[in-house]
Amino acid sequence: MKKDESVFKTDEEYQKTDFDINFSQASKLNQKVRVVHGANDAYFENLEGKTVGYVRKSLRDVFNIPIDAVAVINGETVDDNYIFKGSESLDFNKESGVKGI
């Protein structure tokens, strides 16, 4: 690169398609649902309108989700009938063991 060249585009070089591509990618990221259980953490598309029970059943073996794990969406406990609205975070938590008296 020459000393006078810039790595940034000038207004003339800017194309609308650059914005469209970036906006499209950002929109897709907004619609993804994050699913977490322990060290397992992934983003999934196309879960909008699906239930927590569907996700639990689909990822039970892959994420090693126990049957008694509590589903938490954005900090609130939900049941398996909860329907995703998109752009949410689902955590499966297992309560710690309790010692007997």
Higher-scoring residue by pLDDT: 46, 17:
46
How is the beta sheet containing 70-73 ordered, strand by strand?
40-44, 33-37, 89-93, 70-73, 76-78
Q: Which residue has the higher pLDDT, 38 or 29?
A: 38
Instruction: State which H helix or E strand residue 72 sits in.
Output: strand 70-73
Query: What is 33-93's CATH number?
Result: 3.10.20.30
Q: Answer with the residue of higher pLDDT: 23 or 72.
A: 72
What confidence score (pLDDT) does residue 46 get? 86
Over the range 34-65, which residues count as b (16 or more CB within 10 Å of their CB) and which as e? ebebeeeeeebeebeeebbeebbeebeeebeb
At 87, is the secondary structure helix, strand, or coil?
Answer: coil
Task: Answer for the pair 91, 34: CB distance below 8 angstroms, yes or no.
Answer: no
Q: How confident is the model at residue 96 (pLDDT cuts 50, 70, 90)?
A: confident
